[in-house]
Amino acid sequence: MQISNKPVSGPITDAAQKSRFGGRYLLDQVGRTPPPSDYFAKLAALRVLLIRQNYRAGLALDVCCGAGGFLLPVAPFTDRLLGIDFSPGLISMAQRLVEDVGAASVACVQGDAKRLPLRAESATLAYSFSALYYVPDVGQAVRECARVLVPGGIALLEFGVRSSLNTVVSRAYQDSPIPCHLPLRRIYRTVRQAGFTIEQDRAFQLLPLWGDRPRWLKPLLHRGFRRLAAAEVAGRMLDERVSSLPPLRPLAFRHLLVCRKDPHR
């Protein structure tokens, strides 16, 4: 397989992205449960905590829910939860997961984040993890989140920053979904233009913490960094502490924004 660190030339289409969420990506989802001490397991626990802290009542949405990893942990403290994903393979995995445990308050539907199958102002909270950085023209997906939320509703939206080492690693995996990472300032602008106020920006992954390509980056891809990144410093992971330092923040890959829809919009 040919490996290059260059960005994909030409426009990235939704159809191309959708096809890349089949195949190997789908297989990778099966049986993936890291131990609780793992960096990504800790990140997952933090996301669930943030949902819990921000949810009050009503319908919650998991936008781009994938195989449903954030449906079952959220179901116990939400009245109603809807998972939406455009991949037929992944949404059926999510549906099976929900049916297997008989989670009656959770539903899954195939749909596009850029055309959410919901009425305006029908949800109180929406979250989207590890997904918006694969969406070309992500502004449309963010505007959709704003449309379906009630005034004052909360969106927990995770974006990927282009000027990060993670972008270099992602580009080395050409059979994976194409990265649609953006400069941090553009992310902020996109979210604000959709009618949100950013209440928190939680920054992560100054180092990629996954992958083994490209070869020249190998010293920084050592697994030991992932263990170190997960270490706790005054209640937060060391990775978040370092990624949040002002000069480093625009170089950290993952930004989890806690956003509130303008109550008067």
State the residues that interact with ligand SAM by CB under 6 A: 14, 17, 21, 64-66, 69-70, 85-87, 90, 112-114, 129-131, 134-135
Shortest gap between Cβ of 7 and ligand SAM (angstroms)?
18
Cβ atoms of 199 and 258 within 8 Å: the answer is yes
Tell me whether residue 14 or residue 212 sits nearer to ligand SAM (CB atom): 14
Q: Which is nearer to ligand SAM, 134 or 204 (CB)?
A: 134
Rounded to whole angstroms, the Cα distance separating 151 from 264 reads: 6
CB nearest ligand SAM: which residue?
66
Smallest gap from Cβ 150 to ligand SAM, in A, equals 22
Q: In angstroms, what is the minimal distance from the CB of 175 to ligand SAM?
A: 14
The answer to whether the CB of 158 falls within 8 A of the CB of 130 is: yes
Q: For residue 130, what are the contacts with CB-CB under 8 A and spacing of at least 6?
A: 64, 66, 158
Selection from 56, 36, 53, 33 nearest residue 45 by Cα: 36
Residue pair 105/80 in contact by the 8 Å Cβ criterion: yes
Please tell me the distance from the alpha carbon of residue 165 to that of residue 160, in angstroms, as a whole number.
11
For residues 2 and 33, which CB has a smaller minimum distance to ligand SAM in the complex?
Answer: 33
Closest to ligand SAM by CB, 109 vs 228, is 109
Look at residue 130 and give its three-state secondary structure.
coil
Burial of 178: CB neighbours in 10 Å, binned 0-12, 13-18, 19+: middle
Give the shortest CB-85-to-ligand SAM separation in angstroms: 4
17 vs 174, beta carbon nearer ligand SAM: 17
CB nearer ligand SAM, residue 82 or residue 90: 90
Distance CA 135, CA 54 (A): 25
Closest separation between CB of residue 246 and ligand SAM, Å?
A: 28
Q: Rounded to whole angstroms, how far apart are CA atoms 108 and 93?
A: 10
And the tokens for 6? 């260059």
Shortest distance in whole angstroms from residue 247 CB to ligand SAM: 29
